[in-house]
Amino acid sequence: MKAQYGILRFKKYKGPAISPIEAHNERTKEQYASNPDIDTNRSRYNLHLVQPQGRYREEADRMIAAAHCRVRKDSVRVVEALVTASPEFFKDKTNREIRAYFAYALKFLEGRQCPDTFLSAVVHMDEKTPHLHLCFVPLTADGRLSAKEIIGNRKNLVRWQDEFWQHMVKQYPELERGESASQTGREHIPPRIFKEMTQLTKQKEQLDALLVGINPFNGKSRAAEISKVLDSYIPNVARMRDQLRKYNVAFTKTAAENEKLKEKNKTLSASLDKAKEGSVLKRLEDAKLRQDYEAAVQTLNRIPKEVLDFYCQAGNREEDDRQNVNAR
């Protein structure tokens, strides 16, 4: 049985970022094209444990003014606590049981931060894994605005997470304490990276479908369609490589056959260099990200030489056309 973890994370928001996070949390937008994980048909199952009394920014400013705080232009006005658990933990649980989990987690947060500073606590049931967004104004017990004092440095954050696990395990003994970021040296990977990988995987599946049954006799007829996909696929693979490197996700070298392709085609080599990484970074728990990335690169290895030649020639023609336009 896979390990199950209780999860607590924090994010700080200054003035301009407060309205977008409110729009996400309170589902005030009609469409969420940038977030394919949101199933609006399930949004009716979302529930509030703390109802917002007004707009986040306005309520935050009201609390800050009432506390007579000194505020800088770049002060953190809102802190968001994200509470969730491993997907396996929620498997087969009823909505009532899921609500009870987050209500119990909220008791922990109420013991660490004055509930009067809470702006909203909403459970999202319309994404892949249920989770709680709790937004609060970081006012200290003596009335100062200080996210730094409340959340603290990395060491203090680990203490938050340790105490959160100690609280949750009393009610949910199956939960384990994962390795802290201070031990792994890893920065939290934001959800958008996983969403970008989902989009890249869809592109990979599209490319895989075009490559089914391809051979020297029919490769030329499919080359234009494959080239069109590659125009966005190669940059997306390159961007994902950079993201995985940024967040220290380990991935392996590409296949030796791809090196041969690179030697045969200098133009494609420049693109593929961006889509691959030669050094092996330290191993982390996000094996799924790593595997999906490597699968995306391996699809490039399956593209026949004739198709690659067509793709590179098309790129060269576009470059010649641009140069001719500039020369006029």
Domains and CATH numbers, the chain: 4-184 (3.30.930.30), 191-327 (no CATH)
Non-local (6+) Cβ contacts of 251 within 8 A are 241, 244, 277, 280, 281, 290, 293, 294
Tell me, yes or no, if the pTM score tops 0.85: no
- The residue to which tokens 């006012």 are assigned: 139
Over residues 235-264, mean pLDDT: 60
Asked if the model's pLDDT at residue 115 lies above 90, the reply is yes
The model's pLDDT over 37-66, given as tens digits with 9 standing for 90+, comes to 788 788 889 999 999 999 999 999 999 999
CB 85, CB 4: distance < 8 Å: yes
Residue found by looking up tokens 């986040």 in the block:
56
pLDDT confidence bin for 275, thresholds 50/70/90: very low
What type of residue sits at position 211? L
pLDDT in the model for residue 74 = 87
Cα 273 → chain centroid: 24
Q: Is the pLDDT of residue 138 over 90?
A: yes
Instruction: Please name which of 142, 171, 147, 173 lies closest in space to residue 160, comparing C-alpha atoms.
Output: 147
Residue 265 has pLDDT above 50, yes or no: no
The reported pLDDT for the residue numbered 49 is 97
Two structure tokens written together for 83: 């509470």
pLDDT band at 261 (very low <50, low <70, confident <90, very high): very low
Residues 8 and 82: beta-carbon distance below 8 Å: yes
Which residues in 170-193 are b (16+ Cβ under 10 Å) and which e? eebeebeebeeeeeeebeebeeeb
Higher-confidence residue of 67 and 177: namely 67
Residue 67, pLDDT > 60, answer yes
Maximum distance among all alpha carbons in the chain? 77
> What is the C-alpha to C-alpha distance for residues 179 and 190, in angstroms, rounded to an integer?
17
Lowest mean pLDDT, pick from 96-105, 129-138, 199-208:
199-208
Which of residues 195 and 159 earns the better pLDDT score?
A: 159
Q: What is the pLDDT of residue 280?
A: 26
Mean pLDDT, the chain, rounded, equals 78
What is the sign of the dihedral through the CA atoms of 187, 188, 189 and 190?
negative
* pLDDT of 165: 92
